[in-house]
Chain A
Amino acid sequence: MSTALNQSICLQAGGNTGVGNCFINPKETIGAIILPPGTSFSGSSIATPSAFLAALITATMAPKKQRAYPMHDFQELKDGSESLTEQSFGYGGKAPVREGFFIWEFQYVKGGLCLSKSMRKFNNSNVDVLFVDAEGLVWGLKVGDTLQGINQSYIYSNPPKWNDGSKATAYTQKFVFKPQFLDSFGYIQLGAADFDQVQGLQNVVISSGGARVTNVSLLKANLSCGAESGADVFDLYSTELAAAANWIAKDAITNNVVAITSVAANNTIGGWTGTLDTGDANYNATHAVIWTFAAPTVLAGNSILGIESNTFQTPN
C-alpha cells in the first residue's frame, strides 16, 4: 500500500549534460551592433544568413530612430563582470544571493577620436546590443522566433586615455547587462568576414562653395572625420552626387521642399552647383534655402554608400 506520509516532492531541476559534435562556443568578441530597444529581426530577415546580413546592412541606413550602429575591430576585452554574490553564515555555511552583471569593456583603435565622440552620444542611453564574434557569430536573445539585442543596463564610452609614448591612445566602450540572456541565447552564424559589410554611416558636412545667386547655390561637402586625409566627398562621389534625386532642398522658413532642377559637378570649387525651380510655388527668392543629401537608403540605391549629411543653409 502506497503512502504520501513523509514524501517530499523534489523535482530534478538540472539539465542533461550530453554533448554532440557541434556546439556553440563563442569566440572572442570583435564587434557590436547597437540597436534601438525592442528591435527584432524575424521572418524573412532571418530566413538565411545572407538575408540576415542584408537586413543588418539595411538597418544601418534606416531613419535614426530605427537605425543599427555597428562597431568594429575590438582589440581587447577587460572583463569586469561581477562574481556571484554569496552570503556567509555564522555556522560557516554559504548561500548564493545573486549573480553579478556582465561588465565588458572593449578597447578599439580604428575610428579613434571620431568614433569615440560618436559613441559618447550613446552614454547612458537605453539600447539593445548584438555582439559579433571573430567567426561571424552574431548573438543576442532568441525571443520566440525572433533575434533581438541584449538590453543594456547602460553602455558607456569612456574618455580616452591619451597616448603616453609607450601605449596607443586607449578608446574603450563599456557594456553592462544582466546574465539572464544566457537562458535565451540566440544567434545567427554569418561568414567570418561578413560583418565587414555592416558599416556605420559617416557624417558629411555640407558647406558653401560660393555666394548664392538667386536660385543657384554652390555647395561643398567633406567627411567630418576624414577630411584631414584629403578624401573629401567630391573626390569620392563627384559624378554620383551630380543628380537632383540625391539632394533635397527646403525653404528655410516654411520648411517646404523646393524642386531641384539640376545638380552639376563643379570642378572649379570642388563641389556642386545646384539650381532650384523658380516656378515652384514653394520657391521664394527672399528666403534662405536648406540643402541636404537625400536619405542614406536613396543614396545607396544610387551607388553612394555609407554617408549621411548634415543640413546646410544658404543665405537668401
Chain B
Amino acid sequence: MVHAHGKIGFSQSYAKSVDKQTFVEHFKEVYPGVNLEAEYDKLVPADKAAPVKKVVKKGKK
C-alpha cells in the first residue's frame, strides 16, 4: 500500500552522517516519488563541504 505523505521531516543529522546514495537507498521505498537527491542537497548543501586548502609554494614572491 502506498501512503500519501504530507510534510516529511528528514533528520538533518542523519543526512549529514551518510552520503547521498545511502540517503536515497534508505528512503526510496518509504517515500516513492519524492526527489530524494534534492532533499539531500537541501539538508547537506554542497557549500558546507570542507574547503579546499590553498597550496602555497615556498620561496616564490
Contact = CB atoms under 8 A, between A and B. Distances in A.
A265 B11 contact: no
B59 interface: no
A268 B5 CA distance: 7
B33 to A, nearest CB: 12
A259 B9 contact: no
B38 interface: no
Contacts of A231: none
B9 A275 contact: no
Contacts of B1: 268
B3 A260 contact: no
B4 interface: yes
Interface string A222-249: 0000000000000000110011111000
A242 B9 contact: yes
Interface residues of B, number: 17
A49 to B, nearest CB: 37
A277 B3 contact: no
B55 interface: no
Interface in B13-28: 13-14, 18, 26-27
Interface string A257-277: 001111111111100010101
B9 to A, nearest CB: 4
B7 interface: yes
B11 A264 contact: no
A278 B22 CA distance: 11
Contacts of B51: none
Interface in B25-47: 26-27, 30-31
Contact of A262 (B3, B4, B11): B11
Contact of B10 (A216, A259, A262): A262
Interface of B: 1, 3-11, 13-14, 18, 26-27, 30-31
Given A262-B27, A265-B7, 12 more contacts: A238-B7, A244-B9, A244-B10, A259-B14, A261-B10, A262-B30, A264-B8, A267-B3, A267-B5, A273-B5, A273-B30, A277-B11
22 contacts: A216-B30, A238-B6, A243-B9, A244-B9, A244-B11, A244-B14, A259-B11, A259-B13, A261-B10, A261-B14, A261-B27, A262-B9, A262-B31, A264-B8, A265-B7, A266-B4, A266-B6, A273-B3, A275-B27, A275-B30, A277-B14, A279-B18
